[in-house]
Structure 1
Amino acid sequence: MTESATPEFPLFLAGGGLIGAMMRCHDWSGSPLGHPDAWPPCLRSTVSLLLGSRFPMFAAFGPQLGFLYNDAYAEILGGKHPAALGGRFHDIWCEIWTDIAPLIEKAFAGEPTWSADMPLTMNRRGYDELTWFTFSYSPVRDEHGEVAGMFCACTETTGRVQAEAALRANGARLQFLDQLGKETARSTDADEILATTTRMVAEHLNLSNCAYADMDPDQNGFTIRGDWAAEGSPSIVGHYSLADFGRRAVEDLGAGRPLVINDNLAELAPEEAATFQAIGIAATICMPLVKDGHLTALMAIHDRVSRTWSDYDLALITEVTERSWAHIERVRAVAKLEALNATLEQRVEERTSKLVETEAVLRQSQKLEAVGQLTGGVAHDFNNLLTIIRSSVDFLRRPDLPDERKFRYLNAVTETVDRASKLTSQLLAFARRQTLKPETLDVGARLRAIGDLLDTVTGARIKVVTDLPDQPCFVEVDLSQFETALVNMAVNARDAMDGEGTLTLRLECCVPLPPIRGHAGAPGPFAAVSLGDTGCGIPSDLLSRVFEPFFTTKEVGKGTGLGLSQVFGFAKQSGGDVKVESVLGQGTTFTLYLPEVQPEASVVEHDVEAAEVDPGGAGQRVLVVEDNVEVGRFATQILEDLGYATTWAGNAEEALDKLGASGADFDVVFSDVVMPGMGGIELAKLLRRQLPHLPVVLASGYSHVLAQEGSHGFELLQKPYSADQVSRVLRRALARRHPRAASRAKG
């Protein structure tokens, strides 16, 4: 049951778990923030946001940085909670102030910051501990636009960073042991093996001394030999009695436990440390080698200066001792180990090769399935369109066809060609092979217009409910991509409801972008377009995967898993994001956030009736460059019917020949983009350099160069084009040409 604010507190303190309850009963008299009744709107909204989140968040507000946080952040505070509530940020985190002060200054200067895995030495539980955090500091502005505080969303990454460090240390240990094994395997002499081992261990751990010792037969003493000493360090070769090390050494070493001495011999009594001090040793690990219940050897690791032996040191020395001290048996062990490593590497390579091969087959299968479903759907749609065109043309061939029916069939052909062109554009945009065309549009008006399309997509048994505001709301997006994203979400909802239920299409304007999938939010304003269904819902363990390409829970043949990834890509490309919320058995809501923009002077309405073609030509000379014979003939006929004088060149090279050095015989060049040899873009660039006064218009049905690089500033006409489109683009190009060239065309 949701908590509510007590009567003396405002509603923004409602809920919020334990911290929310503490805030409602907190004594604010000693806080720099004052009573919540006096908090400004920006602080109230920030507190409401953090109290409603399960992600660790805090806010520092006002000149003294009054500190507020939520339940998730209370765990990070440790023993500083609950005293930190309403306190001063500096007093709470004084031990890390030097590290975070520059970031706070940036936030209060209006500059948001982002820090990943930042090390901070905190005192949260009565002792200093090294921690790591990933966090952002964002400025909070008041109603006048001034920075009044800052907001932080953070997560502690200490566990992961330490785990990664341990993994790196383990990797270094394994790498060293492998190198040690290879070095010692080159010799069959025990003394040489031991000398190599002590030298490599000392160098790896940066020690002043490292030695190997043989135990006396009666185990009362040992002889150090194979000693490695750094330059200037005393040699410790010689015979020593276990009594010199005291009772602890006898007990530990005899039982096979290492004798570990740190911090300048502080762990030994003064009389027991005398032997070490006599030879200038400040820290020691004596690692015993016990065989058949008897102490037979020691690995003596020494250092002249005080040091603390780490877990890494102990683990490394333990493994070196266990693996390295068996003389000729050691040589044989290394040989076996190398043989095993060789076999292991071979098996790993074979398994890796099989996994790569299997993964490639799986990916290919997924691609083929997706392509099969895509081409099947495209073939179905195009066959429907071609049926309309074919039937209309058959009727138009009849000599006795009345004018009214002739006009109807001509309109049907025109409208069908438009739908086919739109379908190919959507396919190219989906494949990121088309130059996108962002435009400013009233998203509410477009959602009203698309209602019929969603009805068609979802079917008669699904009720489509719209909840749209009266005021206009403008965004700048590629309309085709926007409509494709809505259709993809609607299809997903239809399948989740098994074809029956309610689909709610809702628009909210001027909303902030919330934090999504660990990414920080943004103040906006954003337009939030949501589609909510009453379907089966999505399990929580799958929510994070729904936008992955090719991921689908549908049966084979009922989905490629590409629809929602298109929605995700479109949202990101458009400067927004998409959020998914779902409850099993109740339904799912996808919300598309798109940045709002200011409306243009006039927003072009779509789907208006086409105006009559204005011929526009007055004898202007057009050089048509088209390698396809049928398209070339048709293009020249259209232009002549529009009043232009045309010359046709079958490729770019022929066009350059007809243009000559000055291009004086032509007023404009109308060229295809994709042609054998020199393409249309190359030709246009060349003419821009050599004949800058001569305008160039490009026409293309598809070009990967245009998709990747754009039109390079040239007029672009998408195929299939109409006579009206040709007329408009030529008039526009001729109107912008050089004045001298324009006057020459009139003359």
Structure 2
Amino acid sequence: MAERIGPADETEMTALFRTFDWSGTALGPVAEWPQSLLTAVDMMLASGHAMCLAWGPEKTFLYNDAYVPIMGARHPWAFGATFKEAWPEVWPEIEPLVDATFRGETSSFRDMPLLMTRNGYPEETWWSFSYSPVRDDQGDIAGLLNVTLETTGRVLAQRQRDAASDELRRSEAKWRTIFETLEQGFILGEFIRDETGKAVDWRYEEVNDSWYDLVGVKRGAAIGRTIREVFPGIEDVWIGGFAEVTEQEAPVRFTRPVGSLGRWYDGVVQSAGGDRFTAIFTEVTERVWQEKRKAALLALIDRLTNETTTEGIIAAVSTALSEALDADQIRHDAEGATVEPVAVDLRPATLDAQSVPAPLRRFVEDLRGGRTVVVCDCFDDERTQPEAAAFEVSVGRAFVGVPFLERGTLAGVLRVGSPRPRRWNEDEILFVRDVGHRGWLAMERLRVEEQQAVLNQELSHRVKNTLGMVQAIAMQTFGGKAESGAVDDFGSRLRALSSAHDILLTQNWSAGGVREVVEAVIASFEGADVRMSGPELAIGPRATMSLSLLVHELATNAVKYGSLGMTSGYVIISWQVREEGGAEVLDFVWKERGGPPAVEPVRRGFGSRIIAMGLSGSGSVERRFGEEGLTVEMSAPLAAVQSA
């Protein structure tokens, strides 16, 4: 009868059913099985679905080929055992279901979790199954048929998907929160290209709240629109510069203004795939203008240091203000002058209510008190509303007026105007004051220098008159007691001192140039062939006087006894700075050539003593009387010469 079990096709389980020793089970030999059991077994073995059968009071456990993988390591020993023996670890959970089935109830479950030990270790598993009662030949319930499907893989996959979805939702919520609370502006956009592929515009797909705040656009007014629609006249660089990210596939940093907004932005734009991109940015308008003001102030300081004319100072002040404030109406008024935009007049004057420029007369008390006048919009400011049109034409829609006081009296006014309403901030006002103050001080410096020049000229005139009187007194005193040559020498020495005095006056008695001193002395020797070479070098006042007398004595002697007394004769004068023992040394050389042989004088007079003193009373002096002419080499520490 064993061959009657299952389909004709031989499978693992049909073979097991046919060869199994049933006599040792509660079912007994197959020949004694009721037809209902045989039918249930045949149906189970023929099914491709995992099925198991529990039959009889002992609930003998049977299953088909599709159920074998579910059994794991329990197969085949659990075949023919009781249901409880086959699944002891889950029996407490399923026993109530089994009992209910044997009472005639049908149970169905989806993804029921069961902890199984089917392969020697606990496994968390999930099952979708149904328990159905099976009746015997008499119609009584004799068994339980379990059609089952292990859903562990699907449940775990679903759990992973759910976890991923939850994580995605949390991530999206997190980033959405960050996106909405981000202080920086954020843009997700897509480029619009022409038929050649060139990016000509881009559309806003997403922006955050900060974007609206940073650009001053009403919330919700950007999504779906292009940048050219939102900002008519926008600079092309905002499209072309952003499009670079799709070409070089690397983030692009930018710092640039939106001209129509008057704001600067700094940020990074990067590709988001295809023609889409993201940009994150912040407004840096104040930072940019702070940097511009700093750079303008440094440039102004350098320029004012070297400016020697009123016009140059005026131009420097105007340039600094216009570049650092983006203001196109800048005026300085003094003596009631009305000047054109970007023109400056810094001449000192005492300004009263009538001589103050007409637009500012209503502010004269503020200006006299040294208080800066600030108007952000002449049409809104109650002080300027009555004459707003006149203010707009002559000063600007918005303006700043900075007074300059001299000894407590109003002397000048600096005006900086804007053709548009402008909210001047404290830094800008301080900058205007600073620039104006520096310009005013530079003008004061020029005025002081001009006054000093006048005083120097007057002093020079008086000194020369004094030297002339000294010379006249000397000539009267010498009378017939001295040789005429001695009187002439005395006079020429006074003239040499006078020329050195003139040079020092031009430098405020601080220093004289070696070349200037030599040229001034030689100029008094008409027709002298003197050839000079040496670097530009400044020396101290005493050294200037000494060098002047020294060159005068050498030139006088050369005319009397040396090369300058002959038409073929000439003098070579050279100087240089060299290093000796870690210190700089000045060498000064006098060479007479083309004249008679040099003869050492028998008698040493005052002139010889002047030459022997050298450059500054220190250092060395060497005279060589040769066939080619006199050579005098003098050396002295440069520091001593420059400080003397």
The TM-score with structure 2 as length reference comes to 0.30
Tell me which structure has the larger Cα radius of gyration: 2
The TM-score with structure 1 as length reference comes to 0.26
